[in-house]
Amino acid sequence: MSSFIQYHRTNQGLSQRDLTDGICSISYLSKIENDTIEPSQDLFNMLCERLGVSLESFNKMTNHAIEDEIMWLYKLISKKNFNEANSYYQSLKTQLTPFHHERIIHLFKLIELYYFIETKDDRVNHYETDDLLQMEASFVEEKRYYFLKIKGVYYIHLAYPHQAILYLIDAEQVLTRYAMKDPDLYYLIAATYTRLSEPARSNHYCQIAKEQYINVFMYPRITDCYVMFGINYTLLQAFDIAERYFFQVLNSRPMMDSDHVTANVQYNIGFMYCEKQEWKQALNYLHQALSGFHSAFEKLHCVQMIAKAYHHLQENDEAMSYIECGKQLSSQTGDQKILCLLWLLEHQIYDTLHTTQFINEAEQYWLNYLVERGENRTLKQLYFFLSESLVNQNRHSEAITYYNKLMQLGI
């Protein structure tokens, strides 16, 4: 009651004297607002009437009620029901006040961050890691799970999979401790291990996610798991198994429920054929995927793969046209990893991998970036090319350093 009355009084620019005139003393109102005493129901009703607010709005503003609504917002976001989530989000913004408990304010800020990430809202870029760290103490017991999960999601958004996996694994421990259920967490862990080029670990978590999705009939997410299995078996070079997963999704109903899912599977089939070095087959699926993608991020990844396929078919004019397209898309998305791959491919096309310029660019910018982001797959390529380039320049001791790093990552 204290925060409710104080919020509406100050929000309307009323002094304590304005509000209490004919109702109670100023000192009594001060005790109410300082939470020293609790007013009777009749007195509270008179204060609400003077403020022009309803008891219904008070009931909505209690910490417990607000917390329930915030957690419902989290569920809507997790289900990707963004239209209803937006309505809840806008409503909560009007209900939440600076006088609510700090724990509630922090919970809202955490779920707000999750909302911005999942809806690809530019406001996510205004968040800082320090903002999350300052809120951490507010999340205990089961609520700590949501903090750890969303912080992991935040690091995925920032393209820091090494940091993301630490928080996601901690979240798994809390999930297990409190016997909670969330198949999305296992899927996120699987996706992060795939990003870290650890497909076997990814498959373990993807299997857990798939079984839990089956139990709750979440067919779109089961489809996502099948695609993930296909990607992982491609990375493991078990192409027959990968092909079965991809085409099971591509040819099935009701798992295939949108053009976007189709384009995503076509892209990954194209990726699989690139790994098999079947470049013409790859181009067939990649061009289909490109026509189905809408976001600049998805198009960028597809364009890079198409450029790579054309290069291996020795159609370098076509490859360069897609590289230029990729550079433009990269400037829109800020995706530095794909820009690095385009840079590598351009040096391959112009046969400049053995130049000092290539070595300097790699060492001065790209190496640190790839190590920091945990981009091991791209890092392997760069270590290999650097080693070969340094040998070509008779800089053997430096070349050995990169060969050793390559061996540590696993060739």
Residue with tokens 């498959």: 203
Residue 224 token pair: 């996502």
Q: Is the dihedral of CA 77, 83, 89, 95 positive or negative?
A: negative
The predicted structure's pLDDT at residue 56: 63
Residue type present at position 254: P
Query: What's the rounded Cα separation, in Å, for the pair 87 and 357?
Result: 54
Q: How confident is the model at residue 151 (pLDDT cuts 50, 70, 90)?
A: very high
13-37: pLDDT as tens digits: 999 999 999 999 999 999 988 888 8
Residue 74 token pair: 């989290």
- Which has the closest alpha carbon to 156: 119, 196, 121? 196
The predicted structure's pLDDT at residue 69: 92
pLDDT of 138 higher than 90: yes
**Does residue 232 fall inside a structural domain?**
no
pLDDT of 254 higher than 60: no
The predicted structure's pLDDT at residue 1: 66
CATH number at residue 9: 1.10.260.40
Average the pLDDT over 248-267 and give the result: 82
| Backbone angles phi and psi of 34, in degrees to 5 | -85, 5
Burial of 282 (0-12, 13-18, 19+ CB in 10 A): buried
Find out whether 218 and 183 touch, Cβ atoms under 8 Å. Answer: yes
What does pTM read for this prediction?
Answer: 0.82
Query: What's the rounded Cα separation, in Å, for the pair 42 and 35?
Result: 17
Q: How confident is the model at residue 260 (pLDDT cuts 50, 70, 90)?
A: confident
**Does residue 360 fall inside a structural domain?**
yes
Domain count, the chain: 2
The predicted structure's pLDDT at residue 149: 98
Residue type present at position 108: F
Query: What's the rounded Cα separation, in Å, for the pair 9 and 19?
Result: 7
| Backbone angles phi and psi of 133, in degrees to 5 | -60, -35
Q: Is the dihedral of CA 370, 375, 378, 381 positive or negative?
A: positive
Query: What's the rounded Cα separation, in Å, for the pair 281 and 155?
Result: 35
Q: How confident is the model at residue 44 (pLDDT cuts 50, 70, 90)?
A: confident
Where among 38, 61, 84 does a domain terminate?
61
Where among 19, 40, 61 does a domain terminate?
61
**Does residue 380 fall inside a structural domain?**
yes
**Does residue 15 fall inside a structural domain?**
yes
Query: What's the rounded Cα separation, in Å, for the pair 245 and 226?
Result: 6
Residue 56 token pair: 């219904």
**Does residue 167 fall inside a structural domain?**
no
**Does residue 399 fall inside a structural domain?**
yes
96-131: pLDDT as tens digits: 877 678 899 999 999 999 999 999 888 888 887 788
Where among 41, 61, 81 does a domain terminate?
61
Q: How confident is the model at residue 55 (pLDDT cuts 50, 70, 90)?
A: low
- The whole domain housing 20 covers 2-61
The predicted structure's pLDDT at residue 173: 97
Average the pLDDT over 170-192 and give the result: 97
- Which has the closest alpha carbon to 200: 176, 231, 160? 231
Which run of H or of E encompasses 53? none
Find out whether 230 and 272 touch, Cβ atoms under 8 Å. Answer: yes
**Does residue 131 fall inside a structural domain?**
no
Residue 15 token pair: 């002094």
Find out whether 398 and 363 touch, Cβ atoms under 8 Å. Answer: no
pLDDT of 381 higher than 80: yes
**Does residue 56 fall inside a structural domain?**
yes
DSSP 108-137: HHHHHHHHHHHTT-GGGGG--HHHHHHHGG
Share of the chain above pLDDT 90, in %: 73
Find out whether 165 and 193 touch, Cβ atoms under 8 Å. Answer: yes
